[in-house]
Amino acid sequence: MTSTFRATDGGRIDRSATVDFTFDGQVYTGHPGDTLASALLAAGRHQIATSIKLGRPRGIAAAWAEDPGGLVQIEEPFPEPMLLATTVELHEGLAAHGLPGQGRLAEVPDSARYDAVHHHVDVLVVGAGPAGLAAALTAARAGARVALVDEQSEAGGSLLGGTDRLDDAPALEWVTAAVAELAGHPDVLHLQRTTAFGSYDDGFVLALERRTDHLGTAAPKHISRQRVWRLRARSIVVATGAHERPVVFADNDRPGIMLAGAARTFLHHYGVLPGREAVVFTTNDSAYDAALDLHRAGVRVQAVVDARPEGSPRRREECERAGIRVLPGAVVTGTRGVERVTHALVAPFADGDVGAGSAIACDLLLVSGGWNPAVHLFSQARGRLRYDEALGAFLPGEELDGLSVTGAAAGVFDLAGCLADGRRVARAALTAQTIDPAGVDRLPTAPEPVVPTAPLVLWRVPDTSGAEGSTSFVDLQRDATVADIARAVGAGLRSIEHIKRYTTIGTAHDQGKTSGVLTSGITAELLGIPVQATGTTTFRPPYTPVAFAALAGRDRGRLFDPERVTSLHDWHVAAGAVFEDVGQWKRPRYYPRPGEDMEAAVLRECAAARTGVGILDGSTLGKIDVQGPDAAVLLDRLYTNMMSSLKVGSVRYGVMCGVDGMVIDDGTVLRLAEDRFLVLTTTGGAAKILDWMEEWAQTEWPDLRVHCTSVTEQWNTFPVVGPRSRDVIGAVFPQVDVSNEAFPFMAWRDTTLDGVPVRLARISFSGELAFEVYVSPWYGVAVWQRLLEAGHRYGITPYGTETMHVLRAEKGYPIIGQDTDGTVTPQDLGMEWAISKKKADFVGKRSFARRANQDPLRKQLVGLLPVDRRTVLPEGSQIVELHADGQLPPPPVPMLGHVTSSYRSAELARPFALALVKGGRSRIGDTVHVPVNGTLVPVEVTGSVLVDPEGARRDG
């Protein structure tokens, strides 16, 4: 369609080129520089969609992010819901349709890139209008590090939508020069298409830069589409302008009804005539500019309806010179039309009373009820707002450290004032930072401001239509009306926060940019209280909607969560390992051979470790080097066991408890020297236990001469496990006497392999004869290969975490965090043997004596054997007890405990489980029941050690 509503000249569009796009299936043509909204208006199209609840036609009502009417769904180039036609830049191939308040997410993954960047500045200026530019120039000229962000496609702010002049030239010439000057400062970051959407603590502002959206299908794939800027500023200058406020009247929602300033912006910024015959309804002087500019551009302005009794004598004279009729002391009481406004109903208005009216034909009804400073970022930073009676708006009500507001956002509405104020706040910010603001900072001369006639604060026109406010729309996006506010107040609500939630006003896409202050005003009127007492609802980020994809940034796919791997990872992958996540670690779970499922692989791996030899990559175990003359003292205080009596060359298993006496970790401790230990923690406990040791050493016992250092990745750890492990170790390390006498259980020995230091330890987590091999990961793969080569003749079998779990569970070794849950004491685990009787104190000891921890009915770790010898009990299953008659007790059925570990055992040739059971050790031999898939499975309670309870195998 042709652009029949395009002005003959003007606008920031490129008339030499055209852009074809599709809206609601119809092809249109616009120009580069258009928004979707301006291009549609140029084609004479106002209606975008119908409303969410009432299905009323709705159109474009504003020119930027405050528009409550023009929600669209983008179809091409990539589906995206809930964008405003006023903020979508036109590009070739754009396809969109209007949305009645709800959109549709894409059904295919978004292939665009999104990223984030941290940036630090001395002064962050938000908004590149006259005040913001003046502030940015002032700061840049002082040599400060500056960021200037602005949400539009080019700098200028309100100047883009007007005809202002500076230094006797079009103001935009000054804007161009200012932007060029800023670009010459190496420490100035100037970003357009960038919305500062949230201000947080300590000068932290998040801003969303739309980097390639406007390029459509031409957007380069390797550049992020949108970027979240994480800006940290010592001073923030908020120069975010103001939003024009409508006046509410009956049927004020029809397409063709628009804010007056928006119409002026469409004319000057985009070269669009939003209609042919306009009525202008205002309470203040600013709308006269729209009336006069549209008139000059060829729009027939039927009347300016000014609610003030005398109107504005000066502006009236200007209008009458231009032949525009002005009706002071009058209001628009309603409209006619369906898909487009056709008439404005105009009536005299005095002392709040509306007289008899008449209809004026129009296809455009412009409205101005004053201006609301955009105080969002100030308010988000917990700045207190004050209500200004004269403006009928909320203004910053206090000074904040490090954040100042300037220009229209601070209630300064004249150009000269904005420039001067922008410079003033920037200078103050620099001075506060001890940056010398002196220097060249000449600002252009603006025409002497004319003092406007005082505005009238008018929230709504009394409804004479008989609809009792039910068609007087406050929040167009939510179809919420004056009648809804009246209903809320009638229901007894007083708080503006409650009224917001009752009426849903301000909860839609625009978050109340046009409706918020109106709601405060109308509520105050209905309650008969001052607007200051009503206040506003809380301003929360984001200022405008931000896509989750942008917030996720690059933390997607592989980069979503770090994968930690050992130096053997590539070997595991090549060996066909199936991995499992253990915290952030990727650990081989099992190594299936062709045709094997997990069960078959694990049975094979278990059998190898019990009858031949297996090898595990245990490198993820946490390792802490504890050094210093008091190293043994620290360990004595943190372990339940005595560690100071451990001999150099020996290893001891130890348990750590919290002060509440509950087990927090376990592992082995190697004494390397009188003043040096190597502490092994669980894989998941590595960081936690290092922190725990540091916490006590630093905060409680700073007098102890001891240092703890993480060496988790300094050592690969390979348990070589099984009756043939001695043969393998003996073959690889021939200089080590691996006999039981020379190298007993729970001993360690240092050796070398081709000059590379290796430590061997007789530690067993399976009950079998086993050696752990410690070597620097630099040589980890090579040593692993040597072990495999030497073990080949014994059928050495790499095994994964699943087999490790079966082997340890068969021996009743608990996994802290699986068989325990932070409520389990060492005694509950049957580990009295690991609790020193000799030590006067250690962390947790005193809590063992608490009465709750002495209860014989505490849950204790036991073994369970399903009587059917077939069922593998699901981990987490509840354990119940039947009555003597074989019936379940009546609900609620008492729970005795739960299954913590459950596997199929090659060794036992049957499934088994570990469980925490109330008074479990006194129930050994009893039969209890576990509900599995609706059936009660009888299980025998046993001791927790099911394989080799005598410990005969550990020495081979």
Site for another protein, residues 153 to 212, rule: CB under 8 A: 187, 200-202, 204
User: What is the gyration radius of the CA atoms in the chain, in angstroms?
Assistant: 38
Residue 247 CA to residue 467 CA, distance in Å, equals 17
Contact pick of 434, 699, 887, 933 for another protein (by CB under 8 A): 699
**Which CB sits closer to another protein, 628 or 943?**
628
**Which CB sits closer to another protein, 468 or 691?**
691
Tell me: does residue 436 bind another protein (CB under 8 A).
no
CB of 778 to another protein, least distance (A): 4
Instruction: Tell me phi and psi for residue 204, to 5 degrees.
Output: -95, 125
Tell me: does residue 145 bind another protein (CB under 8 A).
yes
Tell me: does residue 759 bind another protein (CB under 8 A).
no
Q: Residues 97 to 116: which contact another protein by CB under 8 A?
A: 113, 115-116
Whether omega before 530 lies within 30 degrees of 0, making that bond cis, reads: no
Q: Residues 227 to 246: which contact another protein by CB under 8 A?
A: 230, 232
Which range touches another protein (CB under 8 A), out of 104-112, 353-361, 620-628, 733-741?
Answer: 620-628
Using CB atoms within 10 Å of the CB of residue 399, give its burial: 0 to 12 exposed, 13 to 18 middle, 19+ buried.
exposed
Tell me: does residue 853 bind another protein (CB under 8 A).
no
**Which CB sits closer to another protein, 295 or 569?**
569
CB of 835 to another protein, least distance (A): 15
CB of 175 to another protein, least distance (A): 28
CA distances from 147 to 124, 183, 196, 401, 437 (A): 5, 11, 11, 18, 17
CB of 328 to another protein, least distance (A): 50
Tell me: does residue 792 bind another protein (CB under 8 A).
no
Tell me: does residue 735 bind another protein (CB under 8 A).
no
In SS3 terms, 576-619 reads as: CCEEEEECCEEEEEECCCCCCCHHHHHHHHHHHHHHCCEECCCC
How many Cβ atoms sit within 10 Å of the Cβ of residue 735? 8
Residue 329 CA to residue 311 CA, distance in Å, equals 7
Instruction: Tell me phi and psi for residue 533, to 5 degrees.
Output: -70, -30
Instruction: Tell me phi and psi for residue 366, to 5 degrees.
Output: -100, 140
Tell me: does residue 703 bind another protein (CB under 8 A).
no
CB of 135 to another protein, least distance (A): 21
Which range touches another protein (CB under 8 A), out of 176-184, 335-343, 472-480, 848-856?
Answer: 848-856
In SS3 terms, 637-665 reads as: HHECCCCCCCCCCEEEEEEEECCCCCEEE
Which range touches another protein (CB under 8 A), out of 21-29, 315-323, 347-355, 778-786?
Answer: 778-786
CB of 436 to another protein, least distance (A): 16
Residue 143 CA to residue 4 CA, distance in Å, equals 49
Tell me the two tokens of residue 418.
């904005």
**Which CB sits closer to another protein, 20 or 750?**
750
Residue 876 falls in which region: left (phi positive, over 0), alpha (psi -120 to 50) or beta: left
Contact pick of 389, 778, 792, 869 for another protein (by CB under 8 A): 778
Q: Residues 310 to 349: which contact another protein by CB under 8 A?
A: none
Q: Residues 26 to 65: which contact another protein by CB under 8 A?
A: none
**Which CB sits closer to another protein, 442 or 558?**
558
Question: Which residue, among 19, 64, 58, 56, has the nearest Cα to 37 in the 3D structure?
Answer: 64
Contact pick of 691, 737, 855, 868 for another protein (by CB under 8 A): 691
How many Cβ atoms sit within 10 Å of the Cβ of residue 937? 18
Q: Residues 630 to 659: which contact another protein by CB under 8 A?
A: 659
Contact pick of 276, 325, 501, 707 for another protein (by CB under 8 A): 707
CA distances from 98 to 23, 226, 252, 547 (A): 8, 23, 20, 19
Tell me: does residue 540 bind another protein (CB under 8 A).
no
Contact string (CB under 8 A) for another protein, positions 571-610, x = contact: --------------x-------------------------
Residues 6 or more apart in contact with residue 55 via CB below 8 angstroms? 100
Residues 6 or more apart in contact with residue 115 via CB below 8 angstroms? 224, 227, 228, 553, 554
In SS3 terms, 740-795 reads as: CCCCCCCEEEEEEECCEEEEEECCCCCCCCEEEEEECHHHHHHHHHHHHHHHHHHC
Question: Which residue, among 594, 564, 565, 574, has the nearest Cα to 788 in the 3D structure?
Answer: 574
In SS3 terms, 262-310 reads as: HHHHHHHHHCECCCCEEEEEECCCHHHHHHHHHHHCCCEEEEEEECCCC
- The rounded Cα 380 to chain-centroid distance in angstroms is 17
Q: Residues 541 to 570: which contact another protein by CB under 8 A?
A: 554-555, 558-559, 561-567, 569-570
Residue 459 CA to residue 283 CA, distance in Å, equals 10
Contact pick of 757, 822, 874, 949 for another protein (by CB under 8 A): 757
Contact pick of 223, 361, 742, 895 for another protein (by CB under 8 A): 223
Contact pick of 317, 694, 855, 868 for another protein (by CB under 8 A): 694
Give the three-class secondary structure for 227: strand
How many Cβ atoms sit within 10 Å of the Cβ of residue 241? 22
CB of 758 to another protein, least distance (A): 10
Cβ–Cβ < 8 Å for 60, 69? yes
Which range touches another protein (CB under 8 A), out of 766-774, 794-802, 846-854, 912-920?
Answer: 846-854
Q: Residues 872 to 901: which contact another protein by CB under 8 A?
A: none
Q: Residues 658 to 677: which contact another protein by CB under 8 A?
A: 659-660
Whether omega before 892 lies within 30 degrees of 0, making that bond cis, reads: yes
Which range touches another protein (CB under 8 A), out of 216-224, 358-366, 491-499, 513-521?
Answer: 216-224
Tell me: does residue 783 bind another protein (CB under 8 A).
yes
**Which CB sits closer to another protein, 562 or 891?**
562
CB of 775 to another protein, least distance (A): 9
CB of 93 to another protein, least distance (A): 20
**Which CB sits closer to another protein, 755 or 925?**
755
Contact pick of 118, 442, 838, 883 for another protein (by CB under 8 A): 118
Contact pick of 107, 754, 885, 950 for another protein (by CB under 8 A): 754
* β-pair type (326-328, 300-306): parallel
Tell me: does residue 433 bind another protein (CB under 8 A).
no
Tell me: does residue 851 bind another protein (CB under 8 A).
yes
Cβ–Cβ < 8 Å for 506, 475? yes
**Which CB sits closer to another protein, 227 or 460?**
227
**Which CB sits closer to another protein, 17 or 218?**
218
CB of 539 to another protein, least distance (A): 18
Residue 367 CA to residue 841 CA, distance in Å, equals 79
What dihedral angle (degrees, nearest 10) is formed by the CA atoms of 169, 172, 178, 183?
A: -140
**Which CB sits closer to another protein, 510 or 665?**
665
CB of 776 to another protein, least distance (A): 5
Tell me the two tokens of residue 434.
């001890």
Q: How many residues bind another protein (CB under 8 A)?
A: 78
CB of 143 to another protein, least distance (A): 11
CB of 814 to another protein, least distance (A): 23
Give the three-class secondary structure for 810: helix
**Which CB sits closer to another protein, 99 or 377?**
377
Tell me: does residue 847 bind another protein (CB under 8 A).
yes
